[in-house]
């Protein structure tokens, strides 16, 4: 067999969806397993949907997952250009060949005329099929239609026979002729549709295998027919199982809007918020927000506004894109490992695997036919396992990447302190847990707020025993030398023995005083990370709130 060439072809319309990342990973694993080439091609002909900077973000997401490529828009190659917007001449040439050979024809129906045809099909209780004109329009007809201002497209002349595709995952799939009508291959703006562009590009780039989601299966007969009409070889197809949520719904970027919309709607129904307040939280206007709520027009709120609204509503926006998981503190090793196991099995009950191990085990015959579930609890467990097993230097690198990308205040930590924090917070599930546990130690004293339940439980109970502990320990902490975790823990042990109390009755009041709550790293590590001056000041500040209700 000739060299294996697989590709991943994202559209620059936002961040990389985890379903797309799984498709990229399967192509990468397949190409690497065969010592072939993995190609990135950007499908950016839909100018209205393209988002500035999205291509760079998607490539960064792929690299973060550990994937690389042999050819692509950023590194070039001998089959480029690798952006469809730079390949217009190839599509125009293919269009002209199809028109000249009689495999395609001009069409100039208006949207209103097409709507009327669809309505007639619905009333007749039949599936709409575009009625091929007879005779077919000539070039003169097309020029006349253009002069009249009618939309001019090119349609493929679908042959009367059906199409069978030998799919590497699904086996032989047959499509009867009546399932494919004369579809558009060139839009009225002159640019090709997805169908023509992908066929031209796969042939020009020598793609031997197309691994893509099963939702594209309905497109495959169109692509095979175009390949035959243009004299192109048909690559091997492998349609991958879809990725669903645990409830069986399709995993979609709309899940983010759905979660926030439900939370906001509930607050409005309970009259906890007014519409004007909600709009202010979202940095929007009431009319736009109402349309977003009632008509469910997701585009009315961009992701920044959605995030602000979610924060005010206290709702977690579900991670859908690779960037979401990166910013939430997941390890790329864990996410890549998890994604590969959605719809593929290496056999032998193996689960935790590196990219190299997955590459060695990968084969198309072990890909499932049925949809896979995105089990978030399983991902969280897998991330916890990876975090517990990676070398400290790799964890530090990943932690600092997360802190930078997420905008965490922990991004300001130097290498030594960041490594200390990670070790002190061992047992975390994601890096967000590290921030939750230790972030307040690096905040200004004024940001410490006291959790009422923690104050009542650890300071006020038993006639204010916790307050007494703070008062009696404070002078001993002021004299403690050296200021180290071992010294702190030794002092607390001596205090407990002398006062005949348990460690928790000492450590927890101190923890509440310096962190405002009963959660922080081990008490020795907590005070070392704070430093002597900050520790003493926070205990003084806490004692100053006694009797004020915290």
Structure tokens at 458: 């650890």
Q: Kindly compute the dihedral angle of the four CA atoms of residues 187, 191, 196, 201, in this order, to the nearest 10 degrees.
A: -170
Decide: 221 and 151 in contact? Cβ < 8 Å: no
Contacts of 138 (CB under 8 A, 6+ apart): none
* CA count, 13 A, side-chain hemisphere, 216: 18
Q: Is the peptide bond before 81 cis (omega within 30 degrees of 0)?
A: yes
CA 11 – CA 24 distance, rounded (Å)? 13
DSSP 55-107: HHHHHHHHHHTT---SBBTTTB-TT---BGGG-HHHHHHHHHHHHHTTSEEEE
DSSP string for residues in 410-434 = GGG--HHHHHHHHHHTTT-SSHHHH
Alpha carbon 176 to its chain's center: 37
Taking the C-alpha atoms of residue 351 and residue 341, their distance in angstroms, rounded to an integer, is 8
Query: Which residue blocks in 341-414 are alpha helix, DSSP H?
Result: 355-361, 376-389, 392-406
Query: Residue 532, exposed/middle/buried by CB under 10 A (0-12, 13-18, 19+)?
Result: middle
Contact 221/61 with Cβ under 8 angstroms? Answer: no
Rounded-to-integer distance, Cα 422 and Cα 434, Å:
7
Catalytic residues: 253
C-alpha 422 chain-centroid distance: 25
Of the chain, the end-to-end C-alpha distance in Å amounts to 74
Tell me if residue 390 falls in helix, strand or coil: coil
Do residues 7 and 205 make contact, with C-beta atoms less than 8 angstroms apart? yes
Q: Please count the CA atoms within 13 angstroms of the CA of 446 that sit on its side-chain side.
A: 0
């Amino acid at each position: 067999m000739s060299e294996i060439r697989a590709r991943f072809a994202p559209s620059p319309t936002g961040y990389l969806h985890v379903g797309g990342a799984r498709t990229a990973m399967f192509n990468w694993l397949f190409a690497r397993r065969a010592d072939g080439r993995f190609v990135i091609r950007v499908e950016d002909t839909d100018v209205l949907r393209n988002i500035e900077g999205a291509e760079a973000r998607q490539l960064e997401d792929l690299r973060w997952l550990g994937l690389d490529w042999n050819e692509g828009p950023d590194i070039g190659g001998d089959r480029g250009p690798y952006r469809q917007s730079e390949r217009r001449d190839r599509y125009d040439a293919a269009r002209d060949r199809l028109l000249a050979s009689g495999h395609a024809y001009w069409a100039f129906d208006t949207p209103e005329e097409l709507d009327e045809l669809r309505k007639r099909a619905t009333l007749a209780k039949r599936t709409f099929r575009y009625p091929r004109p007879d005779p077919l329009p000539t070039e003169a007809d097309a020029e006349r239609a253009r002069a009249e201002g009618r939309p001019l497209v090119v349609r493929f002349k679908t042959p009367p026979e059906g199409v069978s595709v030998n799919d590497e995952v699904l086996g032989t799939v047959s499509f009867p002729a009546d399932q494919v009508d004369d579809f558009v291959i060139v839009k009225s703006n002159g640019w090709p549709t997805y169908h023509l562009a992908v066929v031209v590009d796969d042939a020009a780039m020598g793609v031997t295998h197309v691994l893509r989601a099963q939702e594209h299966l309905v497109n495959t007969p169109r692509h095979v027919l175009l390949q035959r009409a243009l004299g192109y070889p048909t690559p091997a197809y492998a349609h991958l199982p879809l990725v669903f949520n645990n409830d069986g719904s399709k995993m979609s970027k709309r899940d983010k809007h759905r979660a926030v919309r439900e939370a906001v709607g509930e607050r409005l129904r309970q009259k906890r918020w007014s519409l004007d307040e909600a709009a202010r939280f979202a940095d929007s206007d009431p009319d736009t927000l109402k349309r977003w709520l009632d008509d469910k027009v997701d585009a009315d709120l961009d992701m920044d506004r959605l995030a602000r609204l979610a924060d005010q509503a206290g709702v977690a926006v579900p991670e859908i894109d690779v960037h979401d998981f990166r910013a939430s503190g997941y390890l790329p090793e864990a996410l890549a490992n998890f994604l590969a196991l959605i719809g593929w099995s290496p056999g032998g009950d193996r689960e935790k695997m590196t990219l190299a191990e997955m590459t060695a085990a990968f084969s198309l015959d072990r890909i499932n036919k049925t949809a896979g579930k995105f089990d978030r609890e399983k991902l969280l467990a897998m991330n916890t396992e990876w975090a517990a097993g990676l070398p400290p230097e790799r964890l530090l690198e990943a932690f600092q990447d997360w802190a930078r990308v997420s905008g965490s205040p922990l991004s300001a930590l130097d290498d030594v302190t960041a490594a200390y924090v990670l070790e002190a917070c061992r047992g975390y599930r994601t890096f967000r847990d590290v921030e939750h546990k230790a972030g307040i130690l690096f905040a200004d004293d004024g940001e410490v707020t006291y959790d009422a339940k923690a104050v009542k439980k650890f300071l006020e109970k038993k006639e204010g025993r916790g307050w007494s502990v703070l008062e009696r320990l404070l002078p001993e902490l002021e004299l403690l030398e050296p200021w180290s975790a071992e010294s702190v823990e030794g002092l607390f042990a001596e205090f407990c023995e002398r006062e005949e109390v348990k460690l928790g009755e000492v450590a927890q009041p101190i923890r509440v005083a310096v962190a405002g709550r009963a959660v922080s790293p081990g008490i020795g590590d907590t005070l070392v990370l704070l430093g002597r001056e900050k520790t003493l000041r926070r205990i003084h500040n806490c004692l100053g709130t006694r009797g004020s209700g915290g």
